[in-house]
Structure 1
Amino acid sequence: MKIYKTNEIKNIALIGSKGSGKTTLAESMLFECGVIKRRGNIESGNTVSDYFPVEKEYGYSVFSTVFNAEFNGKKLNVIDCPGADDFVGNSYTALGVCDTGVIVIDSEYGVEVGTQNIFRTTGKLKKPIIFALNQIDGEKADYENVIEQLREHFGSKVVAVQYPLESGPGFHSMIDVLLMKKYEWGPDGGVPTISEIPEEEMEKANELHNALVEAAAENDETLMDKYFEQGHLSEDEMREGIRKGLIDRSIFPVFIVSALKDMGVRRMMEFLGNVCPFVSDMPAPETISGEPVAPDANGPLSVFFFKTSVEPHIGEVSYFKVMSGTLKAGDDLENISRGGKERLAQIFTVCGQLRTPIEKLEAGDIGAAVKLKDVRTGNTLNAKGCDYAFDFIKYPEPKFIRAIRPLTESDAEKLMSILTRMHEEDPTWIVEQSKELKQTLVKGQGEFHLRTLKWRIENNEKLPIEFLDQKIPYRETITKAARADYRHKKQSGGSGQFGEVHLIIEPYTEGMPEPDSYKFGNQEFKMNVRDKQEIPLDWGGKLVVYNCIVGGAIDARFIPAIVKGLMDRMEQGPLTGSYARDVRVMIYDGKMHPVDSNEISFRLAGRHAFSQAFKNANPKILEPVYDVEVFTPGDTMGDVMSDLQGRRAIIMGMESDNGIEKLNAKVPLKEMSSYSTSLSSITGGRSSFSMQFASYELVPGDVQEKLLKEYAETQEEE
């Protein structure tokens, strides 16, 4: 197979909303390149992209698919990404390793929330993009309306390269204003007839052509001067100007296609091959230490692994990008991320599930290896003497959490092994064994995301599992000062146990004055601080302990044991067994026995005294509250807001952006359990949201009463 030079390689991500037709477009692209002889379709389950059993079962893309094709002497590595918001992690991965994004838009629906979300992501990553208006022959397709939407949302940088003579079911011809030609197809698509632009279309074509020329010239002073002098640019000059504009995101070209009938696809691929940036044109990616690494085939060898999949009958397939140098089959590399050495005995180019062995791959190229010893997604492998390490793929926070367990308890270890492996395939499946909640949690981007995980475990791994609601990590705290004392005394022959602790507790806040005196009833307690410990808690907040013992009532050697007793109760709060936080404790008196006092006695005395004081200090339960950001079409805003208010949300603000509403709210985690599913149901899958932990806040009184009752019932059962 041909070895491509770095300046012959282009890496392209197919991205966009669910249902925009990316998989069908990928089929037509492969057909146009001669990689496949006939185009498959989603209904028949025979496409190059959707080849996993779960994708055929559900009828939509779950994983990104890597394929490559030669077009006009250039190598195009393409990653076809799922459009559903639940599987957005694939788009983050693809954009991380690709140089250009093709945002595919369903011409019947125009700019959707998913379109805006992915556009924002390309902006953060500074990736060139082009828009492909697919399904231009759809029943409700309206080219002018979609172009207007694009300009409203993304500004004047949106520039048409083509326009249809008629959109909708009557579409069969278009004008290309870059080449200034007319393209026309028969009823079933296929190879177009290319002819001159009809006279009646020349005025509109010239107007759009000049807009394109101006947009191209703006990116190069030399071209701008030439355009002003001559009033036009050559085709090659326009290509160069557009390429520069793509790189600095000052131009967003728009193409029209019908992927299903293969109309306009070849023309778009010509643009990808001739105009879109090569790997070598793009800014050099940086290592973790901030060192730029140019894709130089003669540089030190460094390979970044961006994707892992477990495929039927093969096992683990690891996908990589050659960041620098030239990788040869049989190379021995060092895994800088995990340590150890790895031999890449065979390397492959990839087209869906088809892998073709290749002798070597130069910097910028994408390939795969199978059954590696110890390589994980996100690892960097280098030749000896090279210390590059890359970590440029950042994934969105999870939005849907469930507890998971096998139906047979003895399969718990097997389940963890499977979950760990599946996280390697999709890093947005996050697994956490929560000591606090005593649950194994799986986190993902939505209900479909986790449903897919469950399907694969039960069907591929033959392991029955169940999902449970996540327990909420409540916190306990106090709202006023309280005093308590406790004597632990036990005698059972020989030396016994004795320890007595007197303490005062109060709410802790940063910067509060040191303790002085406290009054309970008619009695005043003066504090003489001898020692202070500030203990930052792993779960947030602090425990601050003061030793105010005078006169040797308790020996200093027992204070650490008392603190351990306090921590016992901080780790299992008296109200609901949740972690406690932000408490200040003054140990001011007590008693000990010359023979029977020991550490366990004072640990137990401290624990019980703390529990008594805590219950008398007007204790409150805190719940985690999240900042939630919802993007939804304007016509669903009322329903979305009503639903949030039913979830005890506090609406913080709203913004409107050309028909797409952004709503900010603070919502308790308890109320977000089914939100992904509800939002999809309310808006017909047209909305998206993100959530991020904000703070712990007091739960309402009725909620606290309910929680206390539920906890009491579980304690009785135990």
Structure 2
Amino acid sequence: MQVYDDKHIKNVVFVGAHGSGKTTLAETMLFEAGLINRRGTVEDKNTVSDHHEIEHERGISVFATPLHTEWRNYKINIIDTPGLDDFIGEIISSIRVGDTVVNVIDGKQGVEIGTEIIWNYIDTYNRPTLFVVNQIDHVNCDFNESFNSIKKLVGNNAVKIQYPVKIEGAQCIIDVLKMKLYKFKPEGGKPEKLPIPESEQETANALHNELVEKAAENDENLMELYFDKGTLNEDEMRQGIKIGMLQHQLFPVFCVSALLDMGTGRLMGFIDNVAPAASELKPEYSKEGKEIDRTPDAPTSLFIFKTLHQPNLGQVTFFKVMSGEINTNDKLTNAQNGEVETINQLFIMDGKERKSVQKLTVGDIGATLKLKHTETNDTLYGGQESITIKEIQYPAPRITKTVNPTNQNDEEKLTEALKKIHSQDPTVEISYSNESKEMLIGCQGELHLATINWALENIYGVQASYKKPKILYRETIVKPSRGFYKHKKQSGGAGQFGEVHLKIEPWYEGMPEPEGFNIRGKEEIDLNWGGKLVMYNCIVGGVIDQRYLTAILKGVLEVMENGPLTGSFIRDVRVMVYDGKMHSVDSNDISFKIAGANAFKEAFLNANPKLLEPILELEVKVPEEMVGSVMTDLQSRRALIQGVTSLDHYQILKCTIPAAEMYGYSTDLRSLTQGKATFSSKFSSYQTVPANTQEIIVKECKSEQLTEV
């Protein structure tokens, strides 16, 4: 296979809403370039891109798939991404390494919510972007409406390069950059190039002039040329369009029928001639603060953007060459852990097909096998100085559930499988809660979880069950109380004796010292689970030795780790130990630990104990026409609306909501809004549970504890 230099490599990422035709467009481009002999279809489950068994089973793209094509002495690397935001991790990682984003729009629907979600990430990475309105052959396609929806998304800097027309019943595309008409046969394929007919001349000229102005706006020299000549030639326009794309200020719009191979050759020609290469993008800086030298002669650095675990191959690692060149058998250092990896094999991946190569240069995308110490987001570098590429920031999970093996003997097997799934998809978060004693799995939605479960069953041979995770409540008090306990135990030889009197009060920051006590010592403890315990030594007359106060503290902490109401952690309490008794022979640490624990428990139960629940800050982005139903649903979940702001045709609802009410919200919100709303949440604080709700929760916890016994 030919080795291309960095100026003849273009990396494009196909993004778009589910069903917009990304996979079909990628298939057609490979066919148009002659790299495949016949085009597969999604329906026939034989496309190069959607080759995984689960994609065939569900009829959707689940994984981002690297492909490549060659067109007029350029290599075009294509990454075909899923269209559903459950698989947003695949989309984000692809945008991160792409040089140009091709945003595919369904001509029947225009910009959809999936397009808008993805646009936020394109905008974050500031990637050059062009839009392709697909399915122009469909009877319900409305190109102008689709173009207007693109303008709503990106502003007035969207500009038509092409528009579709029907002339004498034939599907045609008028290109206002080349000022030519492409006329297609009913079956598509190579078009006939013709002059623009008189009936379309006025429209085409107006769009051509608009394109000239947009191209000239992005560069002072081009603007001067435009003022001098009143126009720009085709090469000058290409230059201005490229500059505008690099500045993220110009968004060319094309039209195609991917299914009938109409307009794909012209699109590839534009990618070759105009779409930026990696070396032309804005400078990128390493975590060490140095500009990455995007030349073949620079020290080598590879950024790992994707990992796959395949039963027949093991770990497949996908990377972009960020600087220098990579050859087979090169040894590189992992910047994250210092381990040295040998690149024994280099591949270009086209779906499941691997093509061996000996070398890849800066800007190219490739893969290798069986790296031992390298994961997604790692950097491998050569040379003496460390190069660390900035990591991809993945979104937090939107749903969290407990996960357990159906067969308890499979616990280790499940853990290992989940590690591989997280390695393959960092938006899957696996954790273990020491507090609730649960293994938790976080992901982007129910469909995402369904694909994870499919992998567990069909690839790793593990059956798993999923349940609602326990809410991590806290317990505290709202009034002062006193407690007393005498521990006395006699059993032959030495006995046990300890008596403790104490007072407890709610603690808050900045409160005055307790009155009525002779304070001899104070210890403030920042609790691991949040909040504080403040312990005072108020013993007078030596009725309890100083050495036993540590044992009393241990007893108090033991109760605080397993609160009397629900077994939850206790927080924000201060304790004054002011009296007690000891025995010269029978008193010891264990006696005072038991006495302290029971005295604290008695005082706690008499101090009007309250349950605290975790409260989240929730932000929901919802179309204006759906705000009412979303707000009604939020209020039924005990949410408090903090404010509503407008953003284009969306409303942003900001509220606080108990974490206990968020279970199932992702699914319900999607159902309420036909998938058009999105949300994000983060922990805010702990707040008191309403009395009637507390009663129900305490009863449920007691019932669960009895069941476990």
| TM-score in terms of structure 1 length | 0.95
SS of 1:590's equivalent in the other structure is strand
Q: Which amino acid in 2 is paired with 1:38?
A: R
Provide closer, same or farther for how the CA distance between residues 350 and 497 of structure 1 changes in structure 2, counting only shifts above 3 A: same
Q: In the TM superposition, what is the alpha-carbon distance from 1:171 to its structure 2 partner? A: 7.7
Structure 1 equivalent of residue 12 of structure 2 = 12
Q: Which amino acid in 1 is paired with 2:468?
A: D
Structure 1 equivalent of residue 96 of structure 2 = 96
Give matches, 1:85-484, under 5 Å: 85-165=85-165, 172-484=171-483
SS of 1:186's equivalent in the other structure is coil
Structure 1 equivalent of residue 514 of structure 2 = 516
Q: Which moved more, 1:190-199 or 1:688-697?
A: 688-697
Q: 1:71, 1:546 → 2: CA distance? A: 79
Q: 2:326, 2:191 → 1: CA distance? A: 40
SS of 2:189's equivalent in the other structure is strand
Q: 2:255, 2:459 → 1: CA distance? A: 39
Answer yes or no: is the 8 Å Cα contact 1:113–1:633 preserved in 2. Answer: no
* 1:550 paired residue among 536, 540, 544: 540
Q: In the TM superposition, what is the alpha-carbon distance from 1:691 to its structure 2 partner? A: 2.2
Q: 1:33, 1:666 → 2: CA distance? A: 54
Q: 1:282, 1:134 → 2: CA distance? A: 27
Q: In the TM superposition, what is the alpha-carbon distance from 1:625 to its structure 2 partner? A: 2.2
SS of 2:224's equivalent in the other structure is helix
Does 2:569 correspond to 1:594?
no
Q: Which amino acid in 2 is paired with 1:23?
A: T
Q: In the TM superposition, what is the alpha-carbon distance from 1:301 to its structure 2 partner? A: 1.8
Q: Which amino acid in 2 is paired with 1:576?
A: T
Answer yes or no: is the 8 Å Cα contact 1:302–1:386 preserved in 2. Answer: no
Q: 1:579, 1:573 → 2: CA distance? A: 6
Q: 2:268, 2:460 → 1: CA distance? A: 40
Answer yes or no: is the 8 Å Cα contact 1:113–1:632 preserved in 2. Answer: no
Q: In the TM superposition, what is the alpha-carbon distance from 1:289 to its structure 2 partner? A: 3.2
Q: Which amino acid in 2 is paired with 1:504?
A: K
Q: 2:260, 2:568 → 1: CA distance? A: 60
Q: In the TM superposition, what is the alpha-carbon distance from 1:398 to its structure 2 partner? A: 0.5
* 1:560 paired residue among 540, 550, 572: 550
Q: Which amino acid in 1 is paired with 2:412?
A: E
Answer yes or no: is the 8 Å Cα contact 2:378–2:391 preserved in 1. Answer: no
Provide closer, same or farther for how the CA distance between residues 412 and 566 of structure 1 changes in structure 2, counting only shifts above 3 A: same
Does 2:21 correspond to 1:21?
yes
Answer yes or no: is the 8 Å Cα contact 2:113–2:675 preserved in 1. Answer: no
Provide closer, same or farther for how the CA distance between residues 529 and 182 of structure 1 changes in structure 2, counting only shifts above 3 A: farther
Aligned residues: 708
Deviations 1:124-178 (A, max 9, x none): 22212111112233343212222222222321111111112259x9781121111
Report sequence identity in percent: 48
Deviations 1:232-259 (A, max 9, x none): 1121111111111111111111111221
Answer yes or no: is the 8 Å Cα contact 1:136–1:171 preserved in 2. Answer: no
Q: In the TM superposition, what is the alpha-carbon distance from 1:31 to its structure 2 partner? A: 1.5
Q: 1:161, 1:58 → 2: CA distance? A: 35
* 1:712 paired residue among 664, 689, 702: 702
Q: 2:258, 2:576 → 1: CA distance? A: 73
SS of 1:191's equivalent in the other structure is coil
Structure 1 equivalent of residue 687 of structure 2 = 697
Provide closer, same or farther for how the CA distance between residues 655 and 147 of structure 1 changes in structure 2, counting only shifts above 3 A: farther
Q: In the TM superposition, what is the alpha-carbon distance from 1:562 to its structure 2 partner? A: 2.3
Q: 1:127, 1:585 → 2: CA distance? A: 58
Q: 2:514, 2:401 → 1: CA distance? A: 47
Q: 2:478, 2:170 → 1: CA distance? A: 70
Structure 1 equivalent of residue 43 of structure 2 = 43
Q: In the TM superposition, what is the alpha-carbon distance from 1:506 to its structure 2 partner? A: 2.1
Q: 2:504, 2:315 → 1: CA distance? A: 56
Q: Which moved more, 1:587-596 or 1:219-228?
A: 587-596
Q: 2:534, 2:275 → 1: CA distance? A: 61
Q: 2:492, 2:376 → 1: CA distance? A: 62
Q: In the TM superposition, what is the alpha-carbon distance from 1:384 to its structure 2 partner? A: 4.8
Provide closer, same or farther for how the CA distance between residues 488 and 121 of structure 1 changes in structure 2, counting only shifts above 3 A: same
Q: In the TM superposition, what is the alpha-carbon distance from 1:326 to its structure 2 partner? A: 1.2
* 1:609 paired residue among 584, 599, 605: 599
Structure 1 equivalent of residue 675 of structure 2 = 685
Q: 2:261, 2:650 → 1: CA distance? A: 32
Deviations 1:590-622 (A, max 9, x none): 332222222222222222222222222222212
Structure 2 equivalent of residue 520 of structure 1 = none
Answer yes or no: is the 8 Å Cα contact 1:488–1:500 preserved in 2. Answer: yes
Provide closer, same or farther for how the CA distance between residues 590 and 137 of structure 1 changes in structure 2, counting only shifts above 3 A: farther
Deviations 1:571-608 (A, max 9, x none): 22221011222222223333322222222222222222
Q: In the TM superposition, what is the alpha-carbon distance from 1:82 to its structure 2 partner? A: 0.7
Q: 1:247, 1:529 → 2: CA distance? A: 69
Provide closer, same or farther for how the CA distance between residues 583 and 9 of structure 1 changes in structure 2, counting only shifts above 3 A: farther
Q: Which moved more, 1:676-685 or 1:428-437?
A: 676-685
CA RMSD of aligned residues (A): 2.0
Q: In the TM superposition, what is the alpha-carbon distance from 1:658 to its structure 2 partner? A: 4.2
Provide closer, same or farther for how the CA distance between residues 356 and 597 of structure 1 changes in structure 2, counting only shifts above 3 A: same
Does 2:522 correspond to 1:539?
no
Q: In the TM superposition, what is the alpha-carbon distance from 1:475 to its structure 2 partner? A: 1.6
Q: 1:584, 1:572 → 2: CA distance? A: 17
Runs of 4+ with deviation above 6 angstroms: none
Q: 2:202, 2:216 → 1: CA distance? A: 21
Q: In the TM superposition, what is the alpha-carbon distance from 1:374 to its structure 2 partner? A: 2.4
Q: In the TM superposition, what is the alpha-carbon distance from 1:693 to its structure 2 partner? A: 2.1
Answer yes or no: is the 8 Å Cα contact 2:405–2:411 preserved in 1. Answer: yes
Q: In the TM superposition, what is the alpha-carbon distance from 1:207 to its structure 2 partner? A: 1.4
Answer yes or no: is the 8 Å Cα contact 2:311–2:459 preserved in 1. Answer: no
Provide closer, same or farther for how the CA distance between residues 290 and 528 of structure 1 changes in structure 2, counting only shifts above 3 A: farther
Q: In the TM superposition, what is the alpha-carbon distance from 1:482 to its structure 2 partner? A: 1.9
SS of 1:673's equivalent in the other structure is coil
Q: 2:553, 2:169 → 1: CA distance? A: 80
In the alignment, structure 1 segments of 5+ residues that lack a partner are: 518-525
Does 2:567 correspond to 1:569?
no
SS of 1:165's equivalent in the other structure is strand
Q: 1:220, 1:693 → 2: CA distance? A: 46
Answer yes or no: is the 8 Å Cα contact 2:17–2:115 preserved in 1. Answer: yes
SS of 2:191's equivalent in the other structure is strand
Q: 2:642, 2:245 → 1: CA distance? A: 37
Provide closer, same or farther for how the CA distance between residues 283 and 588 of structure 1 changes in structure 2, counting only shifts above 3 A: farther
Q: In the TM superposition, what is the alpha-carbon distance from 1:710 to its structure 2 partner? A: 0.9
Q: 2:536, 2:18 → 1: CA distance? A: 59
| TM-score in terms of structure 2 length | 0.96
Q: 1:290, 1:587 → 2: CA distance? A: 55
Provide closer, same or farther for how the CA distance between residues 2 and 706 of structure 1 changes in structure 2, counting only shifts above 3 A: same
Answer yes or no: is the 8 Å Cα contact 2:85–2:117 preserved in 1. Answer: no
Provide closer, same or farther for how the CA distance between residues 416 and 163 of structure 1 changes in structure 2, counting only shifts above 3 A: same
Q: 1:465, 1:166 → 2: CA distance? A: 55
Deviations 1:271-294 (A, max 9, x none): 111111110111233223333212
